[in-house]
Structure 1
Amino acid sequence: MTRWMRAVAVVALGAVGCTQEQKPAVAKRAELKMVSGSTMEVIPSPGQYPYCMLFTVSEKGIIRQLTMTRENRSIKCDAGKRIYNSSFRVPVEEGKVKAYILFSDQRIQAGSVAQQLYDLRDKPRLTAMDFRLPGSVSVEMLEFTPKPGGEPVTGAVVGTTDIEGAAEGSQTEEAEVEDPGQDLAPPKVTPPPSGGGGGQPTNTETVK
């Protein structure tokens, strides 16, 4: 190789290096903030679809739906405001979690999303193309590693890798949050039977 060819090669490599360094970073659709060791908040970025739902998938394969409402559909999510107007506690014993935020241009039923997350649990990273959902959808995945601090309870378990088909038939409960929004149903108290209960305890039932 001549001296002139070496010089051309050096210039070409330098140009490639500059191009790679100047490549703009992909903007995040949401930001995850640690409030305490095991508590997090998720805040949508500007320019996202108006509705969203939030799930976590832990290292142990446990899937939790954090935006649980009575209708079990995606909720209104405003840019710059924390999702569900709440902070979520992640169980420390379940290890690092992947938080999936699904933004959509319409309200979507969450049940099908839970099942699809269960079916795709072994895929390292998911995009909107992996889901079969109506309308326009975009997906952001953020990671959070909980540390000791706070009560390790949040969300509704909708599936685990230990039980085949758990996501489809599992029981769900409303997400436990620090500042519940108006979407949560108030508890309904069932009075004791008439005619004297003889000290029977009052039953309580939470409306889903």
Structure 2
Amino acid sequence: MTRWPWAAAVLVLGVGCTREGKEGPAARAEIRRVSGSTMEVVPNDGQLPYCLLYTVSQKGVIRQLTMTRENRSIKCETGRPIANTSFRIPAQEGPVKVYVIFSDQRIPAGSVAQQLYELRDRHNVSGMDFRLHGQAFVEQLDFIPEEDEAPVTGGVVGEQGEVAEGMDTAPSEATGGSPPEDGGT
């Protein structure tokens, strides 16, 4: 008779864990769209201190976005864009999978890129799929680049730093120069 209370307790605890697991783990990083084809990747709280950032496009192009002289992972701060920069993804390559690899130590990026190439056809990739020293986690995110608006080009910048609308771009007395007399050379 003493077995039944234990079995009931294990069953109740097992159901509680299953419900918790259905919510899924919290995202380790998030993508912030800066423009149609430009993004920032921002680590969330509680992540390991170093990271590498790669994209794999729908056409199979793999890009390493975090490049250093030593070709190793970089320090990643919580709540700040990785490498304090934004990354432009070519829209013509289609949707990309963004892989953020967090680690507890600096790891070589070249071997990770080669392993990512070998794993490119797998739907989900985890830290266990990579042959890395120490502790590592992989966050896989999706980004769909869109065509950016046409860039706005030129204008004459005045002495106060404002762009004067409707002026031609040839130097003039207002900008401190004079137009060329012989057609310019």
Q: Tell me the TM-score normalized by structure 1.
A: 0.61
Q: Look up the match of 1:139.
A: 138
CA distance in 1, matches of 2:56, 2:24: 25
Task: Calculate percent identity across the aligned residue pairs.
Answer: 63
In structure 2, what is the equivalent of residue 104 of structure 1?
103
What is the deviation of 1:22? 9.6
Q: Distance in 1 between matches of 2:84 and 2:122?
A: 30
Equivalents in 2 of 1:22, 1:30: separation in Å?
19
Name the counterpart of 1:116.
115
Measured at CA, do residues 138 and 93 of structure 1 come closer, stay the same or move farther in structure 2, by a change above 3 Å?
same
State whether structure 2 residue 147 is matched by structure 1 residue 148.
Answer: yes
Offset of 1:64 from its aligned partner?
A: 0.1
The question of whether the paired residues in 2 share the 8 Å contact of 1:38 and 1:150 is answered with: no
* Counterpart position of 1:52: 51
AA at the equivalent of 1:83? I
Cα distance in 2 for residues equivalent to 1:25 and 1:126? 16
Q: Residues 140 and 92 (structure 1 numbering): CA distance in 2 closer, same or farther, change over 3 Å?
A: same
Separation in 2 of the partners of 1:30 and 1:120? 21
What SS does structure 2 have at the residue aligned with 1:123? coil
Cα distance in 1 for residues equivalent to 2:64 and 2:107:
14
Cα distance in 1 for partners of 2:112, 2:20 equals 37
- Alpha-carbon shift at residue 125 of structure 1 (Å): 1.3
- Matched-pair contact (CA < 8 Å) for 1:55–1:65: yes
Counterpart contact for 1:91–1:146, Cα < 8 Å: yes
The alignment yields a C-alpha RMSD, in angstroms, of 1.9
Amino acid in the other structure paired with 2:97: K
Match of 1:94 in 2: 93
Aligned length: 134
CA contact (8 A) 1:102 1:137 kept: yes
SS in 1 for 2:112: helix
Give the superposition deviation at 1:21: 9.6
Q: What amino acid is the match of 1:49?
A: L
Q: Which residue of 1 aligns with 2:165?
A: none
Task: Map residues 162-177 of structure 1 onto 2, 5 A cutoff.
Answer: none
Shift of 1:25: 3.9
Deviations 1:108-134 (Å, cap 9, x if unpaired)? 010000100111111111001110011
Q: State the structure with more CA Rg.
A: 2
| Runs of 4+ displaced beyond 4 Å | 19-23
Name structure 1 gaps, 5 residues minimum. 1-15, 152-208
Does 2:30 correspond to 1:43? no
Q: Could you list the runs of 5+ residues in structure 2 that have no partner in the other structure?
A: 1-14, 151-185
